[in-house]
Structure 1
Amino acid sequence: VVNRENPLENIGIDQARQVFTGRTRLWSELDAGFGAIQVITREAGVGVRNALQQAVMGRRRFTPTAIVLPGNREILEEVAADPLAIGFLPASWLDDRVKALTLEGMSHDWVALNVPGYPAVLPLFFVTPDDPSPEAAALRDFVAGEAGAALLTGRYGLPGYASP
């Protein structure tokens, strides 16, 4: 995600890798205005950062000049306030204060439409033992049922789920 005022609309995986590692340091290198790029990231080990790490970064490290924030709300607010910032958020956190870039020409909406190929997806898994406790079985059944699916789809934009 970038600030609403940023002219950038799309970023390729290689470009994103260069930005998040600090090899691309100026917005002008992306034909997206002027000024130094400010990378905003979550702390290591967080699911959304892990998804970006797998999809974009590989074994490369984030730029040491990145601002590391403790939550998605903080990233949203920082990117909204800083016209030079770039960060990443789960689609469920997007609002009109920031602009979601397409990645390799694909919108995050492709995930919600269940179109395969979007390169940065954070899967959710619900795992129980073969013989779960009654409480765990009830929760599993709720999550896999219509009410649970509606809740997950409404909150996270998840189009499908695996049955137990």
Structure 2
Amino acid sequence: MVWALVCLLFVAATPAFSQNSEALRISGATTIQPLVEQLAEEFREGTGRTVRVQGGGSLTGVVDAMEGTSQIGMVSRALSEEEKERLEYVTIGLDVLVVIVNSRNPLREVDKQTVIDLFTGRITNWSELTAWDREVVLVNKEMGRSTLELFEEYSGVHHRGSPTEGPNGRVAPQAYEIASNLDGATLVGGIPGAVGYMSLGTSLYLLDKGMPIKILVLNGHDPTTENVISSGYPIVRELNLVYLKSNEPDVRAFLDFCLGPRGREVVREFRYLLVD
């Protein structure tokens, strides 16, 4: 009798979603994929519900959520007005875009014009900026990635495949093209003359793991300081999870976990900034 009562209380205290054998599907921005994978694993351990997470980029996250391919999309940028009309969203953190070089590069900081000159191919050797004689190797994001969109908006330099040329031109054709932040950090860390741009949170996380990259001061702002937002750092973005209103009963528990005390702690562990 006592055991039956214990079982009854356990079932009553267990959220209904743990009884749902269907996995919760999440897709989108690779910038926050490792963070969401960690949150998903802890959520599974606490509830018993499986969460499957895959990348593809922010655009994929938006489209998958709209079409119902995934119940939740990961989007590492602010949403457009049209997207806000069609999707619900929660902001789980903030990130900034940083310029990175190989750890052997003596350069410490760049300004906006130097970034433009590097990525358009006007500067081809680091000796034009430092005493280091090494060819510049560009690492650029592929189209459809929100990191690229932020870079284009800041620099005015558009992807070579973009239908329109940017106000400051296009990325030089010899640039390597990559998908994820990890791809970019691996290339920059492995090629002494390489330069790229990526998430600050991911950069700091990979630096902690020993990735041989360096984060540059941009326009006089050091992105590794605690007051990066209030200091006026020029490239800040939201980290969002999007979903259809009709899916809210199915996703609410996971979203509440992400926004709760442990979720916020995980966001900090991955070196992203919390939303007040």
Normalised to the residue count of structure 2, the TM-score between the two structures is 0.52
- Aligned to 2:180, which of 71, 74, 77? 71
Aligned partner of 1:86: which letter?
V
Relative to structure 1, the CA distance from residue 158 to residue 112 in structure 2 (aligned partners, 3 Å threshold; closer, same or farther) is: farther
- Aligned to 1:57, which of 138, 156, 175? 156
- Aligned to 1:47, which of 128, 135, 146? 146
Could you tell me how far 1:39 is from its partner in structure 2?
0.5
- What's the RMSD between the two structures over aligned residues? 2.3
State how far apart, in whole Å, the 1-side matches of 2:242 and 2:201 are: 22
The percentage of aligned residue pairs carrying the same residue is 25
State how far apart, in whole Å, the 2-side matches of 1:86 and 1:57 are: 17
Q: Which stretches in structure 2 are left out of the alignment for 5+ residues?
A: 1-99, 158-165
Could you tell me how far 1:32 is from its partner in structure 2?
5.0
Q: 1:41-96: CA deviations, max 9, x gaps?
A: 12112122222122223523211110112322222121112111111121233214
Q: Does 1:108 align with 2:217?
A: no
Q: For 1:152, what is the secondary structure of its paired residue?
A: helix
Q: Which stretches in structure 1 are left out of the alignment for 5+ residues?
A: none
- Aligned partners of 1:143 and 1:149 also within 8 Å: yes
Normalised to the residue count of structure 1, the TM-score between the two structures is 0.84
- Aligned partners of 1:111 and 1:159 also within 8 Å: no
Structure with the higher strand share, 1 or 2? 2
- Aligned partners of 1:3 and 1:84 also within 8 Å: yes
Relative to structure 1, the CA distance from residue 13 to residue 140 in structure 2 (aligned partners, 3 Å threshold; closer, same or farther) is: same
- Aligned to 1:88, which of 197, 206, 213? 197
Aligned partner of 1:68: which letter?
E
Relative to structure 1, the CA distance from residue 130 to residue 71 in structure 2 (aligned partners, 3 Å threshold; closer, same or farther) is: closer
Q: Which residue does 1:154 correspond to in 2?
A: 269
Q: Which residue does 1:31 correspond to in 2?
A: 130
Q: Which residue does 1:2 correspond to in 2?
A: 101
Could you tell me how far 1:40 is from its partner in structure 2?
0.8
State how far apart, in whole Å, the 1-side matches of 2:219 and 2:184 are: 22
